[in-house]
Amino acid sequence: MTTKIVHTEGESNTSDARRVWLKKSIGPKSGPLLKRDADAFMHQSLSSPCVSTIAKADGIWIEDMDGRRFMDFHGNSVHHIGYGHPKLIAAIKAQLDDLPFAPRRFTNDPAVQLAEKLAAIAPGDLGKVLFTTGGSDANEVALKIARAATGRFKTISFWDAFHGAGMGAASVGGEATFRSHIAGPLLSGTEHVAPFACYRCPYNHESPDACGLACARMVEYVLEREGDVAAVIAEPMRAVPYVPPPGFWKTVREACSRHGALLIMDEIPTGLGKTGKMFAFEHDEIIPDIVTMGKALGGGILPIAACVARQELDVCGDFAIGHYTHEKNPVTSRAALTTIEIIEEEGLVARSADLGTYAMHVLQDRLQDVPIVGDIRGRGLMFGVEIVEDRALKTPGNAKAERIYYACLEAGLSFKISQGCVLTLSPPLTIARDDLDRALEIVVTAIKDAA
């Protein structure tokens, strides 16, 4: 099996730091496969060419073909329960023996159990479910439901947000990486507003909470002016990471209700306990009309995502809004059901909250006087350190962040860089305290060396 070790947003495939890493650190077994990979796969940002190989994945660890081991603090947000959880592997094997596939128009027990379980863990009357194979598709389904339920087609979303790589998901998304290459128009009616805590906004540096609430009021401004918006779609907490200011989502939720727009929360990277609550929006004491989830739902082994809507939004019975070949796949359903069971049985939501609070305290205490650290933020086991050239101006320190990243990789820790300068750390919820301490020490040392 071959994949990339990291996902470094904003890093060039030909950067000096990358070339140094490849020359110095890639062993004799990894090198030939990396060349074959580069020759076989289409090249694209954040994916191919890769920076290394992977031969093993176990718990919090990944290992390349030459035996180098890394703690994985990225994992594409799929590894909440770590890699290769024994209970999950056993459940998948048993399901393969029992029922390996179900054609879409025939139901099966694992799929129904999973739908019922998602309705049970979701708050309020979020209780009607559709499964897809990926988060981008789940967001597309949510947008179709919103159109059907409201009779409208416009959306409001946030610049810099990520909702998937499909055409509709990229249209409501706000990351240039997934939009700028598309020739011709994207989906019509996709209005965008500034995100809360926009790192480019000068007002955010002076008063982040006031700035964020101003952005929340801008959502209502656009809702009122447009008058026919079907939905607001957003990440409850941006995985880069950015935490919304107090009252932000309550303000947006109330505005949506006043103007007849649905609120869709994209919990694909943040859901299932990553932020210290089962769903990140629970921190803000709101309930959306639709929630999407994915990534970790398959336990870091199989691809499955879900769209969960309020009961009264079950209005699409006369036409197809998902219609995926693997819509009710019993094997992926069993994987997801078992993943949720593991999260509940092992108390991983509370563990994420406790370890996340601890990690933030350690980083804030040890990095408070380091001049290249602009901000330390996060919730649960999704937290980050912003690297800057100038702390007062918060000038992004992209080059320093990249050097820090490769120093950490050399020391055995993998993560991603977001927005060019934010060291984004997202370990499995199963991580041992000693391993977390070891990872934090690697990060702190690399940052201080760079300073």
- What are the DSSP calls for 186-236, one per residue? -STTEEEEPPTT-TT-HHHHH-HHHHHHHHHHHHHHHHHHH--EEEEEE-S
CATH number where 49 lies: 3.90.1150.10
Position 104 scores a pLDDT of 86
| pLDDT for residue 167 is more than 80 | yes
Position 1 scores a pLDDT of 41
Instruction: Note whether residue 399 is domain-resident.
Output: yes
Q: Does residue 302 sit in the same domain as residue 411?
A: no
Question: Picking from 82-86, 192-196, 361-365, which range would have the lowest pLDDT averaged per residue?
Answer: 192-196
Position 149 scores a pLDDT of 98
Q: Work out the pLDDT band at 283, boundaries 50, 70, 90.
A: very high
| pLDDT for residue 230 is more than 90 | yes
Distance CA 404, CA 89 (A): 35
Of the residues 281, 310, 345, the one at which a domain ends: 345
Q: Does residue 357 sit in the same domain as residue 341?
A: no
- Domain count along the chain: 2
Position 23 scores a pLDDT of 80
Q: Comparing C-alpha atoms, which of 143, 199, 209 is closest to residue 171?
A: 143
Instruction: Note whether residue 193 is domain-resident.
Output: yes
Of the residues 313, 345, 377, the one at which a domain ends: 345
Look up residue 155 and give its DSSP letter: E
Instruction: State the average pLDDT over residues 399-417.
Output: 96
Instruction: Note whether residue 10 is domain-resident.
Output: no
pTM of the model: 0.93
Q: Does residue 421 sit in the same domain as residue 283?
A: no
Instruction: State the average pLDDT over residues 362-387.
Output: 97
Q: Does residue 250 sit in the same domain as residue 166?
A: yes
Instruction: State the average pLDDT over residues 121-137.
Output: 97
**248 has which bridge partners?**
none
Position 13 scores a pLDDT of 57
Q: Does residue 282 sit in the same domain as residue 336?
A: yes
CATH number where 172 lies: 3.40.640.10
User: Over the chain, what is the mean pLDDT?
Assistant: 92
Q: Does residue 324 sit in the same domain as residue 364?
A: no
Instruction: Note whether residue 4 is domain-resident.
Output: no
Position 175 scores a pLDDT of 83
Q: Does residue 235 sit in the same domain as residue 176?
A: yes
| pLDDT for residue 8 is more than 50 | no
Instruction: Note whether residue 3 is domain-resident.
Output: no
Instruction: Note whether residue 191 is domain-resident.
Output: yes
Q: Does residue 438 sit in the same domain as residue 412?
A: yes
Position 131 scores a pLDDT of 97
How many distinct helices (H) and strands (E) make up the chain?
Answer: 13, 16
* Domain ranges, residue 389: 16-81+348-450
Q: Does residue 48 sit in the same domain as residue 101?
A: no
Q: Work out the pLDDT band at 199, boundaries 50, 70, 90.
A: low
Position 313 scores a pLDDT of 98
Q: Does residue 205 sit in the same domain as residue 110?
A: yes
The tokens 């303000």 sit on which residue? Answer: 251
Instruction: Note whether residue 2 is domain-resident.
Output: no
Q: Does residue 359 sit in the same domain as residue 432?
A: yes
Write out pLDDT tens, residues 43-96.
988 788 888 899 999 999 999 999 999 999 999 999 999 999 999 999 999 999
Of the residues 301, 328, 345, the one at which a domain ends: 345
Instruction: Note whether residue 273 is domain-resident.
Output: yes
Question: Picking from 14-18, 204-208, 340-344, 368-372, which range would have the lowest pLDDT averaged per residue?
Answer: 204-208
Position 204 scores a pLDDT of 57
Q: Does residue 106 sit in the same domain as residue 153?
A: yes
Position 201 scores a pLDDT of 60
| pLDDT for residue 352 is more than 80 | yes
